[in-house]
Amino acid sequence: MGVLPKRIILMRHGESQGNLDTSAYTTTPDHSIQLTPQGIAQARLAGANLRRVVSGEGCSPDWRIYFYVSPYARTRSTLREVGRAFSKKRVIGVREESRVREQDFANFQVQERMKIIKETRERFGRFFYRFPEGESAADVFDRISGFFESLWRDIDLNRLHLDPSNDLNLVIVSHGLTSRIFLMKWFKWTVEQFEQLNNFGNCEFRVIQQGSGGEYSLAVHHTEEEMLEWGLSPDMIADQKWRATAPRGAWNDQCSWYLDAFFDQLASESDDDDDEDIQNEK
């Protein structure tokens, strides 16, 4: 096993021309949409805030950071501005990762048609609705699952060549929906829970951090109030708090969506009693 990251940080890109005016998508490919001046300023500020997170109290003095970035122009520009907050010594490297790109909404977008499509998505369900000629959030989930495999191989094989005494921070500069899908996959949230989540703000980030027992949690860095604002339910927040001190690999028996949410009622008899009942029925 390689060096486990101290933190995995998900960051959405800064304000883009498409965020400011959706008509930009009618003439400019989604992957070519640029940041606005405000988006550039947001990214620079986010870089300073990010540095404070990874270098603050309790951090190893020899911390390092590695970036994964979506190939879209707005995410790469965001990373460029974020990078101004870090010295070359601190940055292990960067990888452009196409699997953390934006959900595919098809090609050039027609404003009026897209408005109707998004209204239909709300009625159909945000996770399963597939944009005509594009992707559903479920499709994004599948490619994020593939990215997870590569991420863990990078860690297992120590491809980042990190000294074990250093804190490793992985930062993924991506998009709002893609980042929410990452959280869904990481914490094994259900489709219903995903659909409750609110989008990230521009250059907002979420910190998944190792707790005292080795498990990863949002509650190590973030407050309950923040998680409520993001759309996490009380049960989801309780699970994050449990994870903040849980041993790595432990199973939260009190987590309803791991078991109870799928059954009306499970019998309380022991397995031996069940086997005896089966034998009596034969």
Cβ neighbours around 180 below 10 Å, total: 26
**The token pair that represents 59 in the structure block:** 């951090």
pLDDT of amino acid 251: 82
Q: How many helices (H) and strands (E) does the chain have?
A: 10, 6
Question: Domain residues of the chain, as ranges?
Answer: 7-210
The structure tokens 């479920």 sit at 138
- What is 7-210's CATH number? 3.40.50.1240
- Catalytically active residues are 13, 102
pLDDT in tens, 228-266: 999 999 999 999 999 999 999 888 877 877 777 788 877
Q: In this predicted structure, what is the pLDDT of residue 185? A: 97
Taking a C-beta distance cutoff of 8 angstroms, is the pair 239, 216 a contact? Answer: no
Report the interhelical angle of 37-55 vs 73-82 (nearest 10°): 50
What Å distances lie between residue 101 and 12, 171, 223, 247, CA to CA? 11, 14, 28, 32
The helix/strand/coil state of 84 is helix
Structure tokens at 128: 């399963």
- The CA distance from 217 to 241, in Å, is 7
pLDDT of residue 266: 76
Tell me what pLDDT residue 7 has. 96
Instruction: Return the pLDDT at 282.
Output: 56
Residue 269 tokens read as 């008899």
Give residues with Cβ within 8 angstroms of 230, minimum separation 6. 197, 198, 206
Residue 219 DSSP label = T
Q: Looking at residue 182, what is its pLDDT?
A: 98
Instruction: Print pLDDT tens along the chain (282 aa).
Output: 667 899 999 999 999 999 999 999 999 999 999 999 999 999 999 999 999 999 987 788 889 999 999 999 999 999 999 999 999 999 999 999 999 999 999 888 888 888 899 899 999 999 999 999 899 999 999 999 999 999 999 888 877 767 777 899 999 999 999 999 999 999 999 999 999 999 999 999 999 999 999 999 999 999 999 999 999 999 999 999 999 999 998 888 778 777 777 888 777 655 555 555 555 555
* Residues 236-246 pLDDT 10s: 999 999 999 99
**CA distances for 184 relative to 4, 120, 177, 178, angstroms:** 20, 23, 10, 10
